[in-house]
Chain A
Amino acid sequence: MEAFFGAFGRSLLAASEEAGQFTFLIRSTLLWMVRAKIEWKQTLIQMGRIGVESLPVTAMTAFFTGMVLALQTGATSKHFFNVPLFVGTVVSFSIVMELGPVMTAIVVSGRAGAAIAAELGTMKVTEQIDALYTLGTDPVRYLIIPRLLALLMVLPLLTVASDFTGIIGGLFVARVKYDIPSIVYWHDIVDNMEVRHFVHGFLKTYIFAFVIAMVSCFRGITTRGGAEGVGKSTTAAVVMSMVLVLVLDYFATALLNAMGIT
């Protein structure tokens, strides 16, 4: 029993210490953003790596998500009403308000989050992060801020691209599987959707971008223990980012609804 409480206490202390370090990193990042020159060259490099290189996989994910939504909506409405109704409306609302931002964030967590944690983790265990200090700069300024800014700029754009390709995926199934004319599909969307619905999904991407960047960078720069440590950090970064994206999606949606952006 004593051993159990001992282990429980130690893990609680470790978790509290980690939460404190994470909060301190966020504070330090925000302070450096205000007081230091932004490394725009590094930011552009990261935008290329995170944005351009993630685009094919996020677009493909969204395309198939749109297709399966159209397939399910058409099948369900046919079952109840004998005709596929409101396929465009269901696909567009689902994609633009929820699935576009969330699926894109999850794909980017897996792809870019893992890459960030692995790169910074390797830099940590090979003393490259210490080298940054000795050469007069701070890792937060040189490594973390460019990645955070890149994600904040790129994830909303990737989400817009996902929204678009998801709706096109839905249109493809609506046309081919259910013979719904394109004009009907588009009318289903524009007659029911307003700008605030798009804004609802779009605003959430900034929260996701912040979480993915900070969690991945935190896991990277706190890596310990060589190659095994890098592997553990990478896995932890991806799992933690994905879980936080899904958890925060609920609270962000509740907040936006309370603010009337729904």
Chain B
Amino acid sequence: MIDASSVVKSFGPRTILRGIDLRVETGETLVIIGGSGCGKSTFLKCVIGLHAPDSGVITVDGMDITKLKTEAEIANYRRRFGYLFQEGALFDSLTVAENITFGLRYLTDIPTSKYGQIASDSLALVGLKDVEDFKPSELSGGMKKRVALARAIAAQPSYILYDEPTTGLDPIMSDVINDLILDLQKQLKITSIVVTHDMRSAYKVGSRIAMFHEGRVLQVAHPDIIRITDNPYVRQFVDGLSQGPIKMKLKEFDAEESAGSRKEKA
């Protein structure tokens, strides 16, 4: 179980997360939706320990990443996670098989003689075969996402964090990736957090959906509840409308700014 409480994160003067409270139950797929820059990916990176929260606590199975001291403790924490990056983040200089088994050296005690089999098995789980010796530059966008997913599951994590898994893919390939996420959840019983702004994907893979806005959680609910929500922010986002409170606020800000600049000129 992942439990986040009052998580705040800033980069310089910009506060990205303004007190996130969120719980991800074991076995569920929590989808986080929200506009660009609302803190979805930052939250994901705080969970895995890439960013340290300024305040607040994130515990995973009772462990708080900020309190881990030794390398063994940190490795034990990271071993629980697979992370699918938005663009895959495959290592250009390594082959597909080397990419998939890269983490095994540092996260597990599995002997290197078994790496070949693990690479093939992981690729089979994401519907690929005979690509072990390819370099990432020789793969299509969809294949890169699948290989990145194979790398994320190779060390048999308990949690997978997906950062915009369908971004940049055509609708059919997006749906294939959604099916893969569901398949992996069923086969491996993995707990997942999926960050996306693709509502088709959110409705399809999510056990629950959480809406982030300006670094806060606006609503967390079952996808069927989100479909009929009367929260105007969530409603506007899920319907993909340009008119609504999110846009209105931007307009008010613009209006204030332009009024301010007119006053300065005067």
Q: Which residues of A contact B (CB under 8 A)?
A: 122-123, 126-128, 130-131, 133-137
Could you say which residues of chain B place their CB within 8 Å of the CB of A122?
Answer: 92
The CA of A135 and the CA of B50, in the complex, are separated in Å by 11
Q: Kindly state the separation between the CA atoms of A128 and B48 in the bound complex, as whole angstroms.
A: 15
Q: A136-B103, A136-B106, A137-B106 are in contact. Are A131 and B75 (CB under 8 A)?
A: no
A126-B89, A128-B91 in contact; A134/B83 too (CB < 8 A)? Answer: yes
The DSSP consensus for interface residues of chain B is mixed
The answer to whether B85 and A130 touch across the interface, beta carbons within 8 angstroms, is yes
* A135 in contact with B107 (CB, 8 Å): yes
Cβ–Cβ < 8 Å partners of A123 in chain B: 91-92
A130 to chain B: which residues have CB within 8 Å? 45, 50, 85, 89
B78 within 8 A of A: yes
Contacting pair A131 B79 (CB below 8 A):
no
B212 within 8 A of A: no
Interface SS of A by simple majority: helix
CB contact under 8 A between A131 and B78, given known A136-B103, A136-B107: no
Chain A residues with Cβ below 8 Å from B90 are 128, 131
Residue ID in chain B nearest A130 by CB atoms: B50
* With contact pairs A135-B106, A136-B106 given, residues A127 and B85 touching in the complex (Cβ less than 8 Å): yes
Mark contacts of B54-91 with chain A using CB atoms, 8 A cut-off: 1 yes-contact digit, 0 otherwise.
00000000000000000000010011011101110111
- Return the CB mask of B227-250 against A: 1 if under 8 Å, else 0: 000000000000000000000000
CB B65 to nearest CB in A, in angstroms, measures: 12
Kindly state the separation between the CA atoms of A135 and B86 in the bound complex, as whole angstroms: 16
Q: Is the CB of A135 within 8 A of B103?
A: yes
Beyond A134-B83, A135-B78, 14 extra complex contacts between A and B, CB < 8 Å: A123-B91, A126-B89, A127-B89, A128-B90, A128-B91, A128-B92, A133-B48, A134-B48, A134-B103, A135-B103, A135-B106, A136-B78, A136-B103, A136-B105
